[in-house]
Chain A
Amino acid sequence: MTTAADTAPEISTGAHRDAAPAIELTGINVRFSMPSERIVSFKEYVLKRISGKLEHRELWALRGMDLVVQPGEFVGVVGRNGAGKSTLLKVISRVLTPTSGRVVVRGQVAPLLELGAGFHFDLTGRENVYLNASLFGYSSRVVQRHLADVIAFSELEEFIDLPIRNYSSGMLARLGFAVATMFRPDILLIDELLAVGDVGFQEKCLERIHDFRSRGTAILLVSHQVGAISGHCDRTLWIERGTLKSAGSTDEVLQRYSEGFAES
């Protein structure tokens, strides 16, 4: 249960430099090979294959990507839609195996990519906590022990035994966030997700994220909005067409990014 970051002295900001990097990407390439026309039936596929008419279009989602993130670092990633930001997160969360290159991820990863994954609307909030948590691999015993905290954090005490079809989208997001962050992960991946519930709750989420960071969690925040990144990230990467266009201090990179937008 204890990790290196746990026993290390707590540093409020900056990286825990003494530990090994939390994320290490070396020369990551991800190549998608997509049929140039969409084939939906097996019959069509077999016919095309036999007649040699099966054509593929290659698309490099990531090309020669290198990245090192230390424990306790808060790194932003900006880029337009389709620049490869989501692919980058998928490679780190091991959903996607890179075509070539090496990924090393040390510790537990919590993806804040899809809040409330696996929620079922006919089940109660409480039942959905167990369900959602099992997708992160947590046993019901572990969940039971921390259930009170999850419910308190989501501020859904009165509604927790109602089917979630009666919940508002804000309530669903609150419950999803509370489950996804019920434990401090070593690596937190965030995709455009700081808009959860009302302003008060957003503050609380940010507080929790920064608390994680101060205890050694490495955080990667991906967004195409400059506003979401500035003010949180120690440094920022700008990805364009699967390659690193620029990297450095958040202010500098965001400045260049905004200018880049103005040009095109």
Chain B
Amino acid sequence: MSIPSTPAPNQPALRQQVYDSSRRPHPAVEELQELLRFWHLVVQWSRRNIKLRYKRSILGVLWTLLEPLMLMTILTVVFSTVFRFPKQAFPFPLYILPGLLLYDFFNRSTMQIVEETVASLGLASRIYVPRSAFALATVITYLVNWAIALIPLIAIMLVLRQPLSWSLLTVPLGMFLAAVFALGVGLLVATLGVFFHDVKLTYQVLLTGWFYATPIIYPVEIVPENIQKALLLNPLLHLLALVRQPVILARVAPLENWLAALGFSFAALAAGWWVFTTRRNVFDYRS
């Protein structure tokens, strides 16, 4: 029948040994401490997401590579035959691809954070885990995806004989800021999304609008000047500059784009983190 088992060893010490409800730090601080304590959860969950993504689809990794390329091809055909943009010094496919990748990352990761947060409600109401771990794992998952999609981007650059400059090395930094921004926005929308199902639908519509409010498929010069100024308030515009300019202009994006992207991203993260963690009790008291 049952094999005699060896006694289980003592639980490995996770740093916090005594939990005293009267001596808890501010929720925003506590969540951060717990997230660090549970970083293995973030690692495991990211690995799980990546593994599942490639297990489910037949083409696997290939799909991640093909998807943006197919979209790029369609848009290039449409825009070079239907609309006629002023002739640029760089090929149109390379103009749109970095933006498509950025938008795809932002769109998917923020939507998925909402999904994961809602899905983890039941779990997190039974076992203590820092809920932000799932959101962070989601962003990491799509960041890895984005990094893989850089391979075809570089391949196209080579094919189209676009110069590969050292400025490309700043692209990962731009991607990092985009991840910070996505995490902040995701946490913000997720907090509302937990309570109301129409939040997700509204956000989805907003995302579509956001796509067109970002000069991904059109050059910003074609919009009227006063609207151009208004577009400067769009964080994605600055993030886009960081990941696109090294590709099409072979130079690092201007400092003002870096500063704006930095400011917007961390402001979004601070706001999202604050709202998400201080409403924690409301999460609990809901289920």
Residues of A within 8 A of B (CB): 1-3, 6, 32-33, 39-45, 90, 93-98, 101-111, 113-114, 117-118, 120, 122-123, 127, 130-131, 134-140, 142, 146, 149, 152-153, 155, 181-186, 200-201, 203-204, 208, 211-212, 215
Could you list 24 A-B pairs, sorted by A, with CB under 8 Å?
A: A1-B10, A33-B285, A40-B196, A40-B197, A42-B196, A93-B128, A94-B19, A95-B126, A95-B284, A104-B19, A105-B18, A106-B18, A107-B17, A113-B127, A114-B123, A122-B56, A123-B48, A136-B127, A137-B40, A138-B40, A146-B9, A184-B7, A208-B5, A211-B7
In the complex the two chains form, is A152's CB within 8 Å of B11's CB?
no
Q: Nearest chain A CB to B90's CB is how many angstroms away?
A: 42
Smallest Cβ distance from A192 to chain B, in angstroms?
12
Chain B positions within 8 Å of A107 at CB level:
17-18
Interface residues of B (CB under 8 A from A): 1-3, 5-14, 17-22, 24, 37-38, 40-41, 43-45, 48, 51-52, 55-56, 123-129, 192, 195-199, 202, 281, 284-285
Residues of B within 8 A of A183 (CB): 8-12
Distance A2 CA – B10 CA, assembled complex (angstroms): 8
Cross-interface CB contact of A41 among B10, B18, B22, B198, cutoff 8 Å: B198
Q: How far is the CA of A102 from the CA of B196 in the complex (A)?
A: 32
A33 to B282, CA, bound (A): 10
If the complex has contacts A93-B128, A107-B17, are A140 and B44 also in contact, measured as CB distance less than 8 A?
yes
**Which chain A residue has the least Cβ–Cβ distance from B134?**
A118
Q: Would B284 and A3 count as touching, CB distance under 8 A?
A: no
If the complex has contacts A120-B52, A122-B52, A142-B12, are A104 and B20 also in contact, measured as CB distance less than 8 A?
Answer: yes
A138 to B21, CA, bound (A): 23
Q: A90-B125, A105-B20, A181-B8 are in contact. List 9 more A-B contacts (CB 8 A).
A: A3-B10, A3-B13, A93-B127, A94-B19, A94-B128, A104-B18, A104-B20, A184-B7, A184-B8
